[in-house]
């Protein structure tokens, strides 16, 4: 007869030797738990309210102010809704401030459905090229399995967005508004992913059957046409030209005319895209600071290529971000957003969510940033925009203001704050003008051949 969990018969010697979980150990742990008043209080709080709410430290939340020494104010809050377009929203939010200032607008918003359309199409093309280049790789090998895992997800990085804007430009929101599939990409992504996997199967089977390169290329073009058809059905046709009427804060016509998307970018943003570079902080042993890195097979626009990072200590990221804010421009950044995050309060603060005290042992503080990357606990998951910073008497950052892309009904009217300590632990990437790099850092970024990281390296994570 099998022992029940309530029985406390002693385990056999073989059970201990094999590392089996014994009923004696379970009973002992249960007695110890019940004997500690703090465990009972924690259980009652967590079962009623959830872990994070029970671990919330109100005094620390209150220290996260809504007033900042350096602050950029721009238009109404934006909302990515049920999509993984944060990197697009963050990128466009760093651009629209230029349009708002240039034309003295109260608010302005670029279309996020427009780059979504082109990103999906370019990612599909990128995927097909990866499949064609790995036809002789084992289907069940790690590389092909990785390529098939998420071929056309919503996520991305700054370098990928820059490639889209340089090729396709931008349009105002009203020129290509969100559709149901832009607001909630789940169904579109699921069917598109299924189709791409079917295509990968077809291409590999054709190759195994002796198909020529020309035949495979012809099949790829047919498949890509089907992808474009699906995207147009889901997102609408991207405009080739469109009319614009912008009125300033005095209700005067500030801009009118007919533009192509690339003309509109030059006229309303005029940003030198290649001047803005991705600076990361990944303090792992395999990625020494002061060098450049790229990730194998990560990108979207084939003719542009992949991503490029400069890895520096996190204090340099803080310094450059604060300087760019002082110069009146917001900063794109990527982070692991859910760590120690109180979404309702709009607070990212390790001291405001004390789960270690709640459970009585180290969880959050158990290992450092490098160890979290090495052991799969933390990667970049979300991109947002820094729009303010508080500084101490020595000019060092203490608190950062964040524009998220989750609408105005979360946090502080759609804004969040993150402490400088949280920045150090969970911010992995900022995008800054190259002029804020030192001469040595700029020379490395511009001239060094980047170290190529494996496709599954943590730095290949996409913000969504």
Q: How do beta strands 427-433 and 276-280 pair?
A: antiparallel
DSSP bridge pairs for 292: 310
Q: Where are the alpha helices (DSSP H) in 314-419?
A: 314-326, 355-359, 369-374
Bin 245: left if φ > 0, else alpha if -120 < ψ < 50, else beta: beta
CB 414 within 8 A of CB 407: yes
Rounding to the nearest 10 degrees, give the CA dihedral for residues 130, 135, 140, 146: 0
CB 388 within 8 A of CB 68: yes
Task: Tell me whether residue 207 is one of the annotated catalytic residues.
Answer: no
CB burial string 76-88: b at 16+ within 10 A, e below: ebbbbeebbbbbb
Instruction: Point out the catalytic residue in the list 64, 300, 390, 404.
Output: 404
Task: Tell me whether residue 311 is one of the annotated catalytic residues.
Answer: no
Task: Tell me whether residue 382 is one of the annotated catalytic residues.
Answer: yes
For residue 374, how many C-alpha atoms fall within 13 Å in the half-sphere facing its CB? 10
CB burial string 389-418: b at 16+ within 10 A, e below: bbbeeeeebebbbbbbbbeeebbbebbbbb
Sequence-distant (6+) residues with CB within 8 A of 199 are 128, 131, 223
Sequence-distant (6+) residues with CB within 8 A of 111 are 170, 171, 172, 173, 174, 175, 176, 177, 178
Instruction: Point out the catalytic residue in the list 64, 86, 130, 390.
Output: 86
Instruction: Point out the catalytic residue in the list 93, 181, 382, 390.
Output: 382
DSSP bridge pairs for 463: 156
CA distance 169 to 15: 66
Active site amino acids: 86, 382, 404
């Amino acid at each position: 007869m099998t022992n029940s969990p309530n029985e406390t018969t002693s385990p056999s010697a073989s059970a201990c030797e094999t590392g089996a979980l014994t009923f004696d150990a379970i009973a002992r742990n249960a007695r110890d738990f019940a004997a500690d008043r703090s465990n009972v209080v924690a259980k009652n709080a967590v079962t009623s309210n959830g872990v994070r709410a029970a671990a919330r430290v109100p005094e620390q939340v209150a220290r996260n102010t809504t007033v900042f020494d350096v602050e950029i104010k721009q238009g109404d809050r934006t909302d990515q809704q049920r999509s993984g377009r944060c990197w697009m929203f963050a990128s466009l939010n760093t651009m629209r401030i230029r349009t708002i200032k240039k034309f003295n607008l109260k608010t302005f918003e670029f279309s996020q459905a427009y780059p979504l359309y082109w990103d999906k199409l370019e990612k599909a093309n990128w995927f097909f090229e990866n499949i064609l280049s790995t036809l002789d790789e084992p289907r069940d090998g790690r590389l092909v399995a990785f390529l098939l895992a998420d071929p056309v997800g919503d996520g991305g990085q700054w370098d990928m967005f820059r490639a889209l804007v340089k090729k396709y430009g931008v349009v105002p929101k009203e020129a290509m508004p969100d559709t149901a599939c832009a607001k909630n990409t789940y169904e579109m992504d699921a069917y598109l992913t299924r189709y791409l996997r079917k295509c990968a199967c077809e291409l590999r089977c054709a190759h195994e059957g002796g198909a020529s390169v020309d035949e495979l290329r012809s099949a790829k073009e047919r498949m890509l046409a089907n992808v474009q058809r699906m995207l147009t059905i889901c997102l609408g046709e991207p405009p080739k030209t469109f009319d614009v009427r912008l009125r300033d804060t005095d209700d005067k016509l500030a801009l009118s005319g007919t533009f192509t998307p690339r003309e509109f970018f030059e006229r309303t943003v005029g940003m030198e895209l290649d001047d803005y570079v991705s600076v990361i902080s990944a303090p792992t042993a395999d990625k020494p600071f002061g060098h450049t890195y790229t990730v194998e097979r990560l990108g979207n626009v084939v003719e542009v290529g992949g991503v490029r990072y400069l890895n520096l200590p996190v204090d340099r990221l803080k310094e450059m971000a604060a300087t760019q804010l002082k110069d009146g421009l917001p900063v794109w950044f990527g982070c692991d957003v859910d760590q120690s995050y109180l979404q309702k309060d709009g607070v990212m603060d390790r001291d405001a969510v004390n789960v270690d005290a709640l459970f009585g042992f180290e969880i959050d503080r158990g290992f450092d940033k490098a160890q979290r990357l090495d052991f799969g606990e933390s990667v970049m998951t979300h991109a947002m925009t820094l729009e303010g910073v508080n500084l101490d008497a020595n000019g060092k950052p203490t608190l950062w203001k964040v524009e998220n892309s989750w609408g105005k009904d979360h946090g502080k009217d759609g804004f969040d704050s993150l402490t400088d300590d949280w920045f150090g632990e969970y911010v992995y990437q900022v995008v800054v003008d190259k002029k804020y790099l030192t001469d040595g850092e700029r020379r490395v970024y511009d001239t060094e051949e980047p170290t190529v990281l494996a496709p599954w390296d943590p730095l290949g994570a996409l913000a969504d």
